[in-house]
Amino acid sequence: MEGIKKIDIEKPEDAQVIIGHAGFIKTVEDLYEAMVSAVPGIKFGVAFCEASGPRLIRSDGNDDALRTLCEKNIGAVGAGHSFIIIFSGAYPINVIRHIRSVPEVVCIYCATANKVSVLVYQDGAGRGIIGIIDGDSPLGKETGEERTKRIRFLREIGYKRGIL
């Protein structure tokens, strides 16, 4: 059946997710190495859809539950050469540079803790990712009070230095 389909990504509430596009049989191993090199003690799963040959879902990770969840999610997306990483113990900012450095990674669609939906287009036997819905739409503009909260939060979690 051809057309657009929305796939809601399942993940633990406190987990982060990265969805991207890459293409080579060694992708899953390279993504594994990127994740373990990025943050000591990070827990994660990764899954990748092959687009040719045996067209298998390849997976790896150091947390069996997250690995299984990645397999389920990427299977639902079903787009060739797509991958998903679900992890805890770090923020996307801690691992994204490592993921981008994997030679076969073409693009990253999202890196977030928000609820995520993937828009896929089915065309005959193949599927492709055409977009991502990451979180919810804005409710307004940042005011002085919200700006102060943002600045304070970044300092509380150690991503910026200094005082207000």
Percent of the chain scored above 90 by pLDDT?
Answer: 83
- For residue 62 the two structure tokens come to 């150091």
Whether the pLDDT of residue 43 is over 70: the answer is yes
Whether the pLDDT of residue 23 is over 80: the answer is yes
Q: What is the pLDDT of residue 48?
A: 97
Whether the pLDDT of residue 61 is over 70: the answer is yes
Q: What is the b/e burial string over 135-157, where b = at least 16 CB atoms within 10 angstroms of the residue's CB?
A: eeeeeeeeeeeeeeeeeeeeeee
Whether the pLDDT of residue 124 is over 90: the answer is no
The domain defined by 3-136 folds into hypothetical protein tt1634 (3.40.1520)
Taking the whole predicted model, whether its pTM rises above 0.85 is answered as yes
What does the pLDDT average to over 110-134?
Answer: 95
Q: What is the mean pLDDT of the chain?
A: 94
Whether the pLDDT of residue 164 is over 90: the answer is no
Q: What is the pLDDT of residue 25?
A: 87
Whether the pLDDT of residue 112 is over 90: the answer is yes
pLDDT digits (tens, 9 = 90+) for 79-91: 999 999 999 999 9
Tell me 160's DSSP state: S
16 CB-contact burial (10 Å; exposed 0-12 / middle 13-18 / buried 19+): buried
